[in-house]
């Protein structure tokens, strides 16, 4: 059996392994990856506590963008951050890692509140045990 070919997306530098039986070109891989990277973030500081509203899927391709934004908020010295996941339909383990990194960045007395998670996203949070670490609300 021939080794899989490896294509690299220049935007994320994450390798995509494609088996020889599924031959697609680099431009198709790049287009597919860019389509999955649509993540929109809004930051609202008007209530005194930063609220980061997330729209889109949180996965291996989009989680770094979310992580960078959340780290910027943590670096501003906030001890509490709220994350609105009401417009997120999918989140994998990379999203969990980002949330845990944020919690660790806020320090021992920091707090992360997650609101609006539903369906599969809420299930991922529950299965991962995060309700013991984060305040999760409707």
Model-level pTM?
0.73
Helix (H) or strand (E) holding 84: strand 80-87
Question: Which residue carries 């389509």 as its tokens?
Answer: 35
Mean pLDDT of 53-80: 94
| Fold observed for domain 39-137 | Transcription Regulator spoIIAA (3.30.750)
Helix (H) or strand (E) holding 98: helix 93-105
Residue 134 has pLDDT above 90, yes or no: yes
Per-residue pLDDT tens for 11-63?
444 444 444 444 445 555 444 444 445 899 999 999 899 999 999 999 999 99
- Provide the Cα torsion 134, 54, 96, 128; round to 10°: 60
Tell me how far apart the alpha carbons of residues 109 and 80 are, in angstroms, rounded to a whole number. Answer: 9
Tell me how far apart the alpha carbons of residues 69 and 43 are, in angstroms, rounded to a whole number. Answer: 9
> What is the CB-side half-sphere exposure of residue 53 using CA atoms within 13 A?
6
How do the domains of the chain map onto residue ranges? 5-36, 39-137
């Amino acid at each position: 059996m021939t080794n899989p070919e490896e294509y690299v997306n220049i935007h994320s530098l994450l390798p995509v392994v494609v088996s020889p039986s599924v031959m697609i070109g680099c431009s198709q891989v790049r287009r597919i990856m860019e389509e999955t990277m649509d993540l929109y973030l809004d930051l609202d500081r008007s209530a005194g506590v930063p609220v980061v509203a997330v729209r889109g899927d949180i996965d291996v391709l989009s989680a770094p963008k979310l992580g960078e934004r959340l780290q910027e908020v943590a670096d501003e010295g906030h001890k509490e951050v709220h994350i609105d996941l009401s417009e997120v339909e999918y989140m994998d383990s990379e999203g969990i890692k980002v949330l845990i990194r944020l919690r660790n960045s806020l320090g021992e007395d920091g707090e992360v509140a997650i609101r609006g998670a539903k369906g599969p996203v809420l299930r991922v949070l529950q299965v991962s045990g995060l309700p013991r670490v984060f305040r999760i609300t409707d």
